[in-house]
Structure 1
Amino acid sequence: MARRLFLARALMTGVTLFGVLGSLAACDAQTSESARSGTPGKPRPITPVAGCAKGWTDPADASAARAPARCSPGAPAPKPLKKKTKIVVSAGTLTAEYLAPLRIGMEKGEFSKEKLDVELKLLPTPDALPLLAKGDIDVQYAAPEAAVLNGIRQGFDIRWVAGNFTPAPGSRSGFWARLKPGETAGEVSLKDRTVGTLIGKGSVIMYPMEKVLAAHQADVDSVRFQQLGPAEVLTSLKNGGVDAAWLLDPVWRQVDGDTGYAFLGGQPRGEPLGGLLFGPDLLTGNPDAGVAFLRAYIRTVNTYFAGDYKKDQAFLDDLGEALKTEPDTLAAVPSLRMDWEIRSGTVERLQKAYATAGVVEGDPLPEDRVVDRSFYTEAVGHKP
């Protein structure tokens, strides 16, 4: 219990556990080597995939106007594995809307079509990360946060293999401030104010948050961060416990339109900041299963989440059932723009934000130590 608490605190603060991670990495390196069936990084044949002519966009394009890649509904078609394979996936929540393609894909049998038996486990990121590196779980639905990068730096065989979503144009999920009397959104100075946050300086949200702070006469050293639980963020913002906070869907709707609060900015519109992380079992032990997993995931996006999926009431009801959330609650905020691709430069931008916040050590990691696009490029038949 003490060790798990220590790991959890490390994720929340972004502090690197060099001793713990180092010993785990040494063990994981042996486990990874014994599981490998081929040479790491060995090129795999890529053939065109029917219906996926538009299943790829230029990774360098991170503009807000970029339309996410899309194949035709039902594409890429299933290519069942020779034998049924179990895939264990962990997530820090089972009800967040960004998990919808995974939950719907399981409900609609898209993974079963690939002969994959997917088990979803609720695990906090600090608990899941060493399990992913060791091979006790295969996929982690998370983000390349500071703790993940620190783990990779220490030898964890983990890669970010697919994105998750970008906000819809009408979304105001992001950084909100409580205005002082007579203050307007354009005049807000965040210097010397207290900011409420769920994870801390090691979160991917530090990247867009740093931009908001700079636009309002502040930086990470001139504000006070206060870590809060999910149920405490809005309450603390309203009662004056914090001056600003990052509000997620659908919480921001409770202050939207209130002249006492101002929306100052959110996640970049064209740039996913999280998604799927693979460990050694799929990266190099059984890459066929890794491609099959992403093929099913991408097919689910193309079939059920291609556009404004909340306009279909029947599907909204299905989504509410899958996420254990009232359909009216889901309908209160815009549909997410599901996006399996990873933009080039995102890892570099995240590492700069982490370095500024003081939650990573050592030289920045090159992108290919963190990102592996080969699984989704093979799934959609794109030759980079």
Structure 2
Amino acid sequence: MRKRTRAVSRGRTYGLTLLGAALLASAACSSPSSGTATPKADAGTRTVRPVEGCGAGSWTDPADLAPDRTPARCRPGSPPARRLPEPRELTIATGTLGAEYVAPLRVALDKGEFAKEGLDVTLKVLPTPEALPLLAKGEVDALWAAPEAAVMNGIRGGFAIRWVAGNFSPGPKSKSGLWVRLKDGETAAAVRMAGRKLGTMIGKGSVIAYPMEQALERHGGGLDRIRYQQLGSADVLTALENGGVDSAWLLDPVWRRVDGEPDYAFLGGQPPGEPLGGMLYGPSLLDDDVDAGVALLRAYIRTVNTYFAADYKKNESFVTYLAKLLQTDEAILRSTPSLRMDWEIRTGTTDRLQSAYRAQGVAEDDALPESQTVTRSLYEEAVGHRR
């Protein structure tokens, strides 16, 4: 009999946006759950075997934060598929289907990598606040997002959710990040950010708080010393250009519009070599069906090794294919550096994120330990790494 996950019903989503907002607001009055059960995925009882095509380079020390760290890689086509005895239907929630960071999932689906594992995967567009309660209840199986403040607060409130795989870090030539409009006579080195207004489409509680905090502190600012102006995605650059805001967090490919212009300066972006998002699992893959959880990551990792192992934008035919798959302009896709796809999670990332959330005032309790926020054992099993 075919195993199915519970379908996501519109009728059951009433109040979910409100619940998601409540999670974000509850940090000040919540305390870490003391009786959280250890997921089966972390129980240490699974057998890990060597995997063909995945040697010493398929794992890197999580404590290695070197910006020029080479991401873990197996040979193309590895790790080989291990089809599950019975097919599974899985739903992955994602905030968008068109962004480049979602490309490994789109390619895995299109190229049949999930199907090789016996997985019938559906990608469902859902905002993170709506997806989190569904993930915690097992009504969606995974979330392609980031360990934002709402996720941390959800875990603190008892949600069985873990960050189980990374997604990417920026290429060395990327300037996606914090840009400032220079005042008359001001140089990039002399910029002081305290008191300036920052335009962002994400607002407080996003993972960009961590790299933004680093950039601000290098320029006489801090997350608690700037003024926030939340704007629509189409309005951020316009507000920066017309003086509505003094600075902005500009994403790919928007930053190309001001790159090289004398009135603007790039102050910093996401730390190289440190993914800040990726795959989040709920109880259905952490406890109920760990085999399917490993199989899903195996297909994702194989897709990275086969199609995104290096500078994938040097392959012109692949960029053409990717632009069509993502339904984006091919010229725009080519205009920015390749992402450094990376399934591993660095040590301490969720600690640094939570520190930034506290600085923004969206989390006031003690930080959750990494043992309650991160599970590396599933991607380690997928590549055959024994601790």
Q: Residue 39 and residue 275 in structure 1: after superposition, are their counterparts in 2 closer, same or farther (change >3 A)? A: closer
Is the counterpart of residue 132 in structure 1 residue 161 in structure 2?
Answer: no
Instruction: Give yes or no for contact 1:10–1:17 (8 Å, CA) kept in 2.
Output: no
Within-5 A mapping of 1:42-81: 42-53=44-55, 54-81=57-84
What TM-score do the two structures reach when normalised by structure 2?
A: 0.92
- The equivalent position to 1:345 in structure 2, one of 328, 343, 348, is 348
Instruction: Letter of the 1:45 partner, please give it.
Output: T
Question: In the alignment, what sits opposite 2:303?
Answer: 300
Deviation at 1:72, TM superposition (A): 0.1
Instruction: Letter of the 1:178 partner, please give it.
Output: R
Q: Using the alignment, how far apart are the partners of 2:19 and 2:229 within structure 1? A: 19
Instruction: Letter of the 2:347 partner, please give it.
Output: S
Instruction: Give yes or no for contact 2:164–2:378 (8 Å, CA) kept in 1.
Output: yes
Question: In the alignment, what sits opposite 2:43?
Answer: 41
Q: Residue 241 and residue 138 in structure 1: after superposition, are their counterparts in 2 closer, same or farther (change >3 A)? A: same
Deviations 1:127-156 (A, max 9, x none): 000000011100100101111000001110
Give secondary structure in 1 for the equivalent of 2:74: coil
Question: In the alignment, what sits opposite 1:3?
Answer: 15
Within-5 A mapping of 1:225-304: 225-304=228-307
Q: Using the alignment, how far apart are the partners of 1:258 and 1:62 within structure 2? A: 32
Question: In the alignment, what sits opposite 2:9?
Answer: none
Deviation at 1:320, TM superposition (A): 0.8
Is the counterpart of residue 217 in structure 1 residue 220 in structure 2?
Answer: yes
Deviation at 1:228, TM superposition (A): 1.2
Question: In the alignment, what sits opposite 1:190?
Answer: 193
Q: Using the alignment, how far apart are the partners of 2:194 and 2:360 within structure 1? A: 16
Give secondary structure in 1 for the equivalent of 2:268: strand
Q: Using the alignment, how far apart are the partners of 1:40 and 1:252 within structure 2? A: 40
Q: Using the alignment, how far apart are the partners of 1:343 and 1:211 within structure 2? A: 17
Deviation at 1:3, TM superposition (A): 3.2
Percent identity, aligned pairs only, is: 58
Q: Using the alignment, how far apart are the partners of 1:317 and 1:202 within structure 2? A: 35
Q: Which moved more, 1:358-367 or 1:130-139?
A: 358-367
Question: In the alignment, what sits opposite 1:83?
Answer: 86
Deviation at 1:265, TM superposition (A): 0.2
Give secondary structure in 2 for the equivalent of 1:276: strand
Deviation at 1:227, TM superposition (A): 1.0
Instruction: Give yes or no for contact 2:177–2:270 (8 Å, CA) kept in 1.
Output: yes
Instruction: Give yes or no for contact 1:18–1:154 (8 Å, CA) kept in 2.
Output: no
Considering only aligned residues, what root-mean-square deviation do their CA atoms show, in Å? Answer: 2.1
Q: Using the alignment, how far apart are the partners of 2:221 and 2:313 within structure 1? A: 38
Within-5 A mapping of 1:341-380: 341-380=344-383
Give secondary structure in 2 for the equivalent of 1:237: helix
Q: Using the alignment, how far apart are the partners of 2:141 and 2:46 within structure 1? A: 20
- The equivalent position to 1:98 in structure 2, one of 97, 101, 107, is 101
